[in-house]
Amino acid sequence: MARKGENIFKRKDGRWEARYIKSHDLAGKSQYGFCYGRTYQEAKEKAMAARLSLMNHTPTQTSRDKRHLTVFCDEWLAIQRGQVRESTYVKYCTILENHVKPKLGNCYPLALRTQTVEEFKWALLDSDNLSPKTVKDVMVVLRAVVDYTAKQFPGTFPILAFYYPKLDKKEMRVLTVDEQHKLTSYLLASPDDCKRGVLLALLTGMRLGELCALKWENVSLSERTIRICATVQRLRNTDADAESKTKIWMGKPKSDSSCRVIPLSDSAVGLCRKAARRKPDTYILTGTQEPMEPRTLQYRFEKYTRDCGLEGVHFHTLRHTFATRCVEVGFELKSLSEVLGHANTSITLDRYVHSSLDLKRENMNKLTMLIG
């Protein structure tokens, strides 16, 4: 029979057995360790030594704090609401609700180990079949939650290592010069507000959401500029009482540097002049005071490219194509970065500059004058 409250038993073989909580599994269930002794006192001392060793080397969840990781996820998310853009907040909500909480929500924070994080990562890759990019996004959010949680357990939180999945560099589709001419001719053959807007995106490198939010009051033909100051997105509705699962959100562009003024080329100015005169507070894609939904623009763009026989082309292809054409004509990199709304030139070089084979060949031929 056990001594009351000490979890020490006398076994049938005459030895004494002392149990102690060694750890907790992800469901919060206690995992026990066992110590044995010839006497009650010997077993008790061994169990005390084991507990002390755990405290000094491998901390376990204390019985006084039974909060699961999901509690800290919610606390961290509440803090983020006032710190990040609405679209970013919705992204965090989705990651926590769809991935982190279902798999790790019931885990006690002090029971987390690097192995736990690794198993979680591989479950997302293998079982859930998510892309490495998506898994990396999930892991970044998890790490932020863990960093926040660690501050709630000073001196006792385990040190965790995060290993992100390797991302394969994906070559973005860029229209060739011939494909660009084909698309341009198609859009100008029977122009309307939407087709002119698509062509304007090709001539300026605007993002899809920025184009949907663009009003005529943001276009100055006298100064030959376009002012980008807003974006439109369809986001998940985080309001539990809302009837619709998604909502249209309009706010500031992707980043501070995305708020910018784009100078217009002669072609872009001519395109805007051909459009029927609209009221300043109307949107250029619709000609009304209601913006076009990004999803609608995507559907229309898919039809345009299908009619042109262009394959593997998405709206963002226009942005990459614009950046590539700029590089091909010798556009100064710093200026191009600012036109695209990037925080620095490295983003422009790494993600948006795609040198064509013809341009590479032209540059290689420049070596002729050096080597004879």
The DSSP line for 70-98 is HHHHHHHHHHHTTTS-HHHHHHHHHHIII
Q: Is residue 168 part of a domain?
A: no
Is residue 160 domain-resident? no
162 part of a folded domain: no
Q: Write down the pTM of the prediction.
A: 0.69
The answer to whether residues 227 and 323 belong to one domain is yes
The domain of 193 spans 177-364
Q: How many domains does the chain have?
A: 3
| Domain membership flag for residue 1 | no
Q: What is the pLDDT of residues 186-204, one digit of tens each?
A: 999 998 999 999 999 999 9
Residue 124 belongs to some domain of the structure: yes
Same domain, 130 and 212: no
Judge if 354 and 213 occupy the same domain: yes
Q: Please tell me the number of Cα atoms within 13 Å of 202 on its side-chain side.
A: 24
Residue 105 shares a structural domain with residue 221: no
Residue 226 lies in a domain: yes
pLDDT recorded at residue 9: 84
pLDDT per residue rounded down to tens, the chain (372 residues): 455 557 888 888 888 888 888 776 656 677 788 888 888 888 888 888 777 766 665 444 444 567 899 999 999 999 998 888 888 999 999 999 999 999 999 999 998 999 999 999 999 999 999 999 999 999 999 999 999 999 988 888 899 999 999 887 777 888 999 999 999 999 999 989 999 999 999 999 999 999 999 999 999 999 999 999 999 888 877 776 667 778 888 888 877 778 999 999 999 998 888 775 678 889 999 988 999 999 999 999 999 999 999 999 999 999 999 988 888 888 888 888 888 888 787 777 777 666 556 666 666 666 666 655
CATH of the domain at 106: 1.10.150
Is residue 103 domain-shared with residue 223, that is, in the same domain? no
Give the C-alpha separation, 129 to 135, whole Å: 9
Same domain, residue pair 230 and 274: yes
Answer positive or negative: Cα dihedral of 97, 102, 103, 109: positive
Cα 158 from Cα 167, distance rounded (Å): 28
Q: Is residue 246 located within the same domain as residue 141?
A: no
64: in domain? no
Do 241 and 325 share a domain, yes or no? yes
Question: How far is 93 from 106, CA to CA, in rounded Å?
Answer: 17
The residue type found at 164 is: Y
- CATH number, position 284: 1.10.443.10
Q: Which amino acid is at 280?
A: P
Looking at the fold, whether 94 and 187 belong to one and the same domain comes out as: no
Of 150, 168, 194, which closes a domain? 150
Rg of the chain over CA atoms, in angstroms?
30
Task: Give residue-wise pLDDT tens across range 140-166.
Answer: 999 999 999 999 888 888 999 999 998
Same domain, 193 and 323: yes
- Which are the contacts of 93, defined by CB distance < 8 A and separation ≥ 6? 77, 236, 238
Is residue 371 in some structural domain?
Answer: no
Answer yes or no: do 183 and 241 share one domain. Answer: yes
The contacts found for 128-137 with CB under 8 angstroms, 24 or more apart, are: 128/99, 132/165, 132/166, 132/167, 132/168, 133/167, 135/164, 135/165, 136/164, 136/165, 136/167, 137/91, 137/95
**Residues 105, 218 within the same domain:** no
